[in-house]
Amino acid sequence: MIYTDGGSRNNPGPAAIGVYIPALNKKYGEYIGETTNNVAEYAALIFGLKKLKQFLGKDKVRGYEIECRLDSELVVKQLNHEYKLKEDHIQKNFIEIWNLMLNFKSVIFKHVPREENKIADALVNESLDAREKQRSLI
């Protein structure tokens, strides 16, 4: 299971990702530049799937069933083929996730309330706050 979140301030604006992998006790937060909330959500999921593949190993990863928990209902519905993908850049993100999915036995995308995604959300905000603090020192 992985929890992912992405967010931007001022949408579009400064953006960051947060990824929490409870089974490995791994947490990642990273500033990703200027973009939209939606792009940041996809970036977080891509980052998380790549990290899982890296930690589990190329050969072992095929035996794992992964549940991805996101608080973005829009992204979950797009990934579960309930909503169409209209923007080209979102289609590219979808294809990258689809290709990453092929590495695992199965991948499920589940929408969770923000309260259940507190750790990944906090990682996003910590990364954005750190970026703002760094910029104010310049």
Domain assignments of the chain as residue spans, ordered by start: 2-137
Task: Give the model confidence (pLDDT) of 54-90 as tens digits.
Answer: 999 988 999 999 999 999 999 999 999 999 998 999 9
* DSSP 8-state assignment for residue 105: S
Residue 109 is predicted with a pLDDT of: 98
Taking CA 43 as the corner, what is the angle to CA 131 and CA 1, rounded to the nearest 5 degrees?
110
Which single residue is written with the structure tokens 């992204």? 75
Question: pLDDT band at 136, cuts 50/70/90?
Answer: confident
User: Of 103, 97, 104, 102, whose CA–CA distance to 70 is shortest?
Assistant: 97
Q: Average pLDDT in the 94-120 region?
A: 97
Residue-averaged pLDDT of the chain: 95
pLDDT higher than 90, residue 46: yes
How much is the pLDDT for 16? 98
- Per CATH, the architecture of 2-137 is what? 2-Layer Sandwich (3.30)
In this predicted structure, what is the pLDDT of residue 131? 94
Is the per-residue pLDDT at 21 higher than 90?
A: yes
Angle at 101 between CA 105 and CA 17, to 5 degrees: 125
- Supply the pTM of this predicted model: 0.95
Is pLDDT at 138 greater than 90 in this prediction?
no
